[in-house]
């Protein structure tokens, strides 16, 4: 612990040292974060104020939107603030907190995506038993299990990372505190810790992705027996989910399922699961979903009508 106290803060190298690129990143990330907040809040309000909230798929979607807001809010605002003030430092305590929170909300999001895939599987493959299997009690249990899984995962990561001594270099080649960049600057042999991190994060992402891929193979096989309209509707909702899964899991698997080293491409891939995917989720789930578009029109047109009537 004494060696840890030798480093009270870290320097984040960010995405680039070029001034023009930094200005572009400031504008781009500000736009992305505002889009994330507005898009996900729009989904939350639209679902919460409509009958869609009682449908399991949209119940899970509302929780996914909440996780997107929480997940990205621990990285993007600080990234924007650092660009504004020209200071790229982060305290040791906040760095550790960032590691815990990112893995906590990240695994919750993975498990919610898994629950959404299970919901689509039951809806398409076992439609007669759908309301019994996907009862509100079971949906609540799945959400609680996701939170419990996130807590266990992040706590195990924290227990490993908090023991690392940082006594010399304090420059992190990333735009936020992540595990592999921290392992690189630790003043000890981190091979076993890196292997554990790969097993804990990389294998979780890979196994979950394989399960999701398998579930959609079964769904697509089952759709052969549906009518053309039924296939179109099912593929519309499943297509949105598959797109989100690929955007989130592809970069995550690359980032964590490999030898515990750092590469220049890590920061680019990290952008996908920390900023890009949360920004596109609202667009994917609204533009391709007829029920969501109807609910949004109904909720927001009704609000405008009531405001005009009030005046």
Q: Where are the domains of the chain?
A: 9-163+174-308
Q: Cα torsion for 285, 212, 113, 230, to the nearest 10°?
A: 40
Instruction: Please give the class, per CATH, of domain 9-163+174-308.
Output: mainly alpha
pLDDT, tens digit (0-9, with 9 covering 90-100), for 137-183: 999 999 999 999 999 999 988 888 888 888 877 888 888 888 888 88
Distance in Å from the first CA to the final CA of the chain: 64
- Rounded to whole angstroms, how far apart are CA atoms 294 and 101? 35
pLDDT, tens digit (0-9, with 9 covering 90-100), for 174-208: 888 888 888 888 888 888 888 888 788 878 888 88
Q: Which helix (H) or strand (E) holds 212?
A: helix 203-222
Q: What's the whole-model pTM score?
A: 0.86
Half-sphere exposure in the Cβ direction for 240 (13 Å, CA): 23
Contacts of 56 (CB under 8 A, 6+ apart): 119, 134, 136, 139
Q: Cα torsion for 171, 174, 177, 181, to the nearest 10°?
A: -70
State whether residue 47 is helix, strand or coil: helix
pLDDT, tens digit (0-9, with 9 covering 90-100), for 60-85: 999 999 999 998 998 899 888 888 88
DSSP code for 275: I
More confident residue, 18 or 55: 55
- Rounded to whole angstroms, how far apart are CA atoms 61 and 39? 12
Give the pLDDT of residue 259. Answer: 67
- Rounded to whole angstroms, how far apart are CA atoms 22 and 28? 10
**CB-CB contact of 7 with 172 (8 Å):** no
CA-based angle 279:142:112, to the nearest 5?
A: 15
Task: Give the mean pLDDT of the chain.
Answer: 83
**CB-CB contact of 187 with 166 (8 Å):** yes
Q: Is the pLDDT of residue 261 over 70?
A: no
Q: E strands along 48-168, which residues?
A: 89-91
């Amino acid at each position: 612990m004494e060696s840890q106290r030798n480093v009270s803060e870290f320097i984040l190298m960010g995405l680039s040292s070029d001034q023009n690129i930094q200005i572009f990143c400031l504008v781009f990330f500000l736009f992305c974060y505002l889009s994330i907040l507005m898009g996900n809040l729009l989904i939350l309000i639209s679902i919460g104020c409509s009958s869609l909230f009682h449908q399991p798929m949209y119940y899970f979607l509302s929780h996914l939107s909440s996780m997107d807001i929480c997940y990205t809010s621990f990285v993007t605002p600080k990234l924007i603030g650092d660009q504004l003030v020209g200071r790229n430092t982060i305290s040791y305590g906040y760095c550790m907190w960032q590691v815990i929170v990112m893995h906590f909300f990240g695994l919750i999001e993975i498990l919610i995506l898994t629950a959404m895939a299970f919901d689509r599987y039951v809806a398409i493959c076992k439609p007669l038993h759908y309301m019994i299997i996907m009862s509100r009690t079971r949906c609540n249990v799945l959400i609680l299990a996701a939170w419990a899984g996130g807590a266990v995962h992040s706590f195990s990561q924290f227990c490993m990372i908090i023991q690392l001594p940082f006594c010399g270099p304090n420059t992190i080649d990333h735009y936020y505190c992540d595990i592999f960049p921290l392992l690189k600057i630790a003043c000890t042999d981190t091979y076993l810790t890196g292997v554990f991190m790969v097993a804990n994060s990389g294998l979780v992402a890979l196994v979950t992705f394989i399960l999701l891929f398998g579930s959609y193979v079964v769904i697509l096989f089952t759709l052969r027996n549906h009518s053309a309209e039924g296939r179109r509707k099912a593929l519309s909702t499943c297509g949105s989910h598959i797109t989100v899964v690929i955007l989130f899991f592809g970069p995550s698997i690359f980032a964590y399922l490999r030898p515990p080293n750092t590469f220049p491409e890590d920061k680019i891939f990290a952008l996908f699961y920390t900023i890009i995917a949360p920004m596109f989720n609202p667009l994917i789930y609204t533009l391709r979903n007829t029920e969501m578009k109807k609910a949004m029109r109904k909720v927001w047109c009704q609000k405008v009508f009531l405001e005009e009537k009030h005046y």
